[in-house]
């Protein structure tokens, strides 16, 4: 991976590589016949708040259907029973009441976790969210961040950017950030939404993150300057909840040992492909984000991840 040291090098080549089934086929995570649940990764999903249990469910269900061995939910206590009913295979952990207790809890939990998926449905006004998010960004081995997590980060870039940069020194993988255009405009105030290459590419480098800029032709940017444009998906996916599914899918791939770059590129392609399959069955108007995970099976077959 290239190491670009100045803005000129970042702008020198803005041509993205177009993702296709052949590219994603080569990313397939191995599934040994003698594997067990630990072999296939342990993912912690921190999502949901009062009135937003569905976001936690869609994220966690996508993670479970990605092939991850164990999905753990980090939830406010009132959401544990609803999520147990909706996703009984997941293991639930109640979020402690204070940031200090949460840090102590996570210091014991994170060493057992291969990856974290954070953000869908969190309450960004909850004061504890900022402190837990900061701790996870500092310590999680692999992490994907979306939605409310990005809102919190955008409020204090001077606090969070050094944390993402320090991950490299700590031997931690680059974080994956998955903003839609509105969220990216909060991360980069004054961003021109017509610029879907230069500013995102520069941000990825300057923050040492894998950036997934969602929208029409979702594009993935790597810290070294490479970028990949997606070729799947449709306007039927432009509904609240689709991003929660993507976060869970990328998180599940991270937990299975897939690199952040490969998890992001494969994730957006498979997510869009599942959306195309759902549109074919249900129509773009009627399809829902909750239909996407059920289409993963056929999407995996199309890229030769399943026979």
What does each of the 307 residues of the chain score in pLDDT, given as a tens digit? 333 334 444 444 568 999 999 999 999 999 999 999 999 999 999 999 999 999 999 999 999 999 999 999 999 999 999 999 999 999 999 999 999 999 999 999 999 999 999 999 999 999 999 999 999 999 999 999 999 999 999 999 999 999 999 999 999 999 999 999 999 999 999 999 999 999 999 999 999 999 999 999 999 999 999 999 999 999 999 999 999 999 999 999 999 999 999 999 999 999 999 999 999 999 999 999 999 999 999 999 999 999 8
Strand ranges (E), 95-165: 115-118, 143-145
CA 26 to chain centre: 20
What CATH class does 7-302 carry?
A: alpha beta
Q: Taking the C-alpha atoms of 161, 49, 120 and 133 in order, what is their torsion angle to the nearest 10 degrees?
A: 20
Lay out the sheet containing 227-229: strands in order across.
17-18, 227-229, 219-221, 209-213, 175-177, 143-145, 115-118, 42-46, 70-75, 91-94
Q: Using an 8 Å Cβ cutoff, are 209 and 175 in contact?
A: yes
- Give pTM, 2 decimals: 0.95
């Amino acid at each position: 991976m290239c190491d670009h040291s100045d803005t000129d090098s970042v702008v020198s080549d803005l041509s993205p590589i177009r993702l296709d089934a052949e590219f994603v086929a080569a990313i397939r995570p191995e599934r040994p016949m003698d594997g067990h649940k630990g072999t296939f990764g342990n993912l912690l999903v921190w999502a949901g708040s009062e009135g937003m249990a569905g976001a936690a469910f869609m994220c966690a269900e996508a993670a479970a259907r990605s092939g991850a061995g164990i999905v753990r939910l980090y939830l406010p206590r009132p959401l544990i029973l609803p999520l147990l009913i909706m996703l009984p295979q997941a293991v639930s952990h109640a979020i402690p009441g204070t940031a200090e207790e949460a840090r102590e809890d996570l210091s014991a939990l994170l060493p057992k976790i291969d990856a974290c998926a954070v953000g869908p449905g969190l309450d960004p006004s909850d004061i504890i969210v900022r402190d837990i998010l900061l701790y996870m960004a500092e310590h999680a081995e692999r992490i994907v961040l979306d939605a409310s997590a990005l809102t919190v980060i955008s409020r204090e870039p001077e606090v969070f950017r050094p944390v993402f940069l320090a991950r490299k020194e700590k031997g931690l993988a680059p974080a994956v950030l998955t903003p839609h255009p509105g969220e990216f405009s909060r991360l980069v105030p004054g961003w021109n939404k017509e610029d879907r290459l230069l500013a995102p590419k520069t941000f990825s480098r300057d923050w040492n993150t894998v950036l997934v800029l969602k929208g029409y032709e979702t594009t993935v940017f790597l810290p070294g300057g490479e970028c990949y444009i997606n070729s799947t998906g449709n306007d039927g996916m432009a509904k609240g909840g689709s991003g929660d599914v993507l976060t869970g899918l990328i998180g599940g791939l991270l937990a299975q040992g897939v690199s952040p770059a490969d998890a992001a590129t494969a994730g957006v392609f498979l997510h869009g492909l599942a959306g195309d399959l759902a549109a074919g069955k249900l129509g773009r108007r009627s399809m829902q984000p909750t239909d996407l995970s059920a289409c993963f099976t056929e999407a995996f077959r199309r890229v030769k991840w399943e026979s």
